[in-house]
Amino acid sequence: MTAALAPLHRGARSALTAALAILAACGDNEPPPFEVAELMKPETCMTCHPTHYREWSGSMHAYAADDPVFLAMNKRGQADTAGALGDFCVKCHAPLAVQLGLTRDGLNLAEVPQWAKGVGCYFCHNVIDVQGTHNNPLLLAMDQTLRGGFRDPVRNAAHRSAYSPLVDADSPQSSKMCGACHDIVTPRGVHLERTFAEWQSTIFAQDNPQRHLSCGECHMISNTDVIAEDPAVSVKLRPSGRREHTFAGVDVALTAWPERPAQRAAIERDLAATVQAKLCVLPTNGGEITLKLDLVGAGHAWPSGAAHDRRAWAEVIAYNAAGEVVLSSGVVPADKDPEEISDPYLFGLWDRTFDERGRPAKFFWEVARVESQLLKPAVTVDRFDPRFDHSTTKSYPLGALRPDIVRVTARVLIRPLPLRLFDALAGDGLSPALKAELPTLELRGTALEWTPARAVNLCVE
């Protein structure tokens, strides 16, 4: 607009008002933006937002409907419920495909075009309303406007831009947008995945600008890049920078997929400072090792979300002067799940789920009851509130062995999925060979070594 007006004399301006109004109505004197069908394709964004595209392409949002575990589990769910599951799963894992009627149950995803699978750029950036708190109640405008956090976007030839607090990570409202898909209430009414509800209970969701942290503020860190590389317009560096779009969590692509090393590095970076650990060798209770875990980095429980499928645990190994192992817990071989090692002292962090008859539930549509065993987030800053200390401590009995102990190591590990899930889904097309792709990730910040010399008040942290 400004550029078009610049050569005109001031006096000519009012005479042109009527003509301008007409021009404005048909696209503000600029080439019309791309059709909605084009804007739905992430590849359309690649030319001007190459870094957003690259990071997103390796994310679990991009992989959500290609994930072989998802495909097999949805297939099994449809079979087990005689189709009653319907679009329950694909509504979050391929929401645009459901919206466009390209799939009803996710069983035909192989024929759905790639651009409509997963959680794409258009789906997040076209949201105009959040009509609930779980199971993806997001409403799209289905127009040519992409919403973001900027009130003064430079115009471009591809799309219109608009500010929306729902897609502004600095706005408390944006957590509702993420949260709407990051909370699952199953068809049986079980609140199985609770990341959004957990976040709402924390100090980060409180109406206090000093403490408030949205999902995006933690998960989409700012970089000092321009936000668009559009040669047709002049784009300046913004003080708030560009937000990372890797959406790193715990899951990794198990099959050939872009950006695997970068995604893995982002996951390890984010996990490193999530939990703080304190390891002690104490004379209490007849001699014991204690490991205290404090969730400091996350704005919800840990693990969170798919916490029934996560396997997080602490490994603790104590040695005597001869270098012999005198106590060990959580030493899990690569081919076993932590619950399989019959370890009476296992410090295992995941949601235990049970079916209607009280047996361990195999799949999530069978779950009738959840027993949560997760690290708890910070819910108060009041030191006198009993919930202020939200850490969890596990004790390992040593008895008379205590004086012999000269070294103890500890660390927290997490695997995205249990190995037994691959066996359970082998008949639904999931290759057991993919078990080998499953990483065991160490939370670097929890790796501790206790020796009498290092210990301060009998503890290291």
Residues numbered 307 to 336 that lie near ligand HEC (CB under 6 A) are 309-310
248 interacts with ligand HEC by CB under 6 A: yes
Looking at beta carbons only, is 316 or 374 nearer to ligand HEC? 374
Neighbours of 70 (CB within 10 A): 22
Closer Cβ to ligand HEC, 280 or 312, answer by number: 312
What span, in angstroms and rounded, lies between the C-alpha atoms of 26 and 64? 38
Q: Name the segment binding ligand HEC (CB under 6 A); options: 107-115, 234-242, 323-331, 339-347.
A: 234-242
Q: Tokens standing for 398?
A: 């040593």
Examine residue 303 and say whether the peptide bond preceding it is cis (omega within 30 degrees of 0). Answer: yes
Residue from 405, 418, 383 nearest 452 by CA: 405
Burial class (CB in 10 A: 0-12, 13-18, 19+), 402: middle
Q: Does 123 bind ligand HEC (CB under 6 A)?
A: yes
How far apart (Å, rounded) are the C-alpha atoms in residues 352 and 436?
24
Among 251, 315, 351, 428, binds ligand HEC (CB under 6 A): 251
Separation between Cα atoms, residue 270 and residue 105, nearest integer Å: 34
Q: Does 135 bind ligand HEC (CB under 6 A)?
A: yes
Is there a contact between 187 and 89 (Cβ–Cβ < 8 Å)?
Answer: no
Taking CB under 6 A as the binding criterion, the range among 161-169, 326-334, 335-343, 445-453 that sits at the site for ligand HEC is 161-169
Report the 10 Å Cβ neighbour count for 371: 9
Q: Which of 98, 112, 116, 121 binds ligand HEC (CB under 6 A)?
A: 121
Which of residues 283 and 388 has its CB atom nearest to ligand HEC in the complex?
388
Site for ligand HEC in 268-287 (CB under 6 A): 270-271, 274
Residue with the CB atom nearest ligand HEC in the bound state: 305
- Map the footprint of ligand HEC across residues 331-370, applying CB under 6 A: 364-365
Considering only residues 117, 182, 194, 376, which one is a binding residue for ligand HEC as defined by CB under 6 A? 182
Among 300, 261, 308, 312, residue whose Cα is nearest residue 443:
312
192 belongs to the binding site for ligand HEC (CB under 6 A):
no
Is residue 177 a contact residue for ligand HEC (CB under 6 A)?
A: yes
Alpha-carbon gap, residue 40 to 142, rounded angstroms = 9
Residue 279 vs residues 86, 287, 315, 404: alpha-carbon distances, Å? 48, 14, 12, 17
Cα 322 off chain centre by: 44
**220 vs 318, which CB is nearer to ligand HEC?**
220
| Of residues 49-88, those binding ligand HEC (CB under 6 A) | 49, 52-53, 56, 60-61, 63-64, 67, 69-70, 73-74, 77, 85, 88
Taking CB under 6 A as the binding criterion, the range among 13-21, 176-184, 386-394, 450-458 that sits at the site for ligand HEC is 176-184
Q: How far is the CB of 454 from ligand HEC (least distance, A)?
A: 27
Q: 407 to 426, contacts with ligand HEC by CB under 6 A? A: 417
Q: What span, in angstroms and rounded, lies between the C-alpha atoms of 205 and 238?
A: 26
Contact pick of 117, 194, 300, 411 for ligand HEC (by CB under 6 A): 300
Choose, by CB under 6 A, the member of 33, 58, 303, 418 that binds ligand HEC.
303
Give the C-alpha distances (Å, rounded to integers) separating 324 from 288, 312, 335, 405, 423: 18, 26, 24, 10, 36
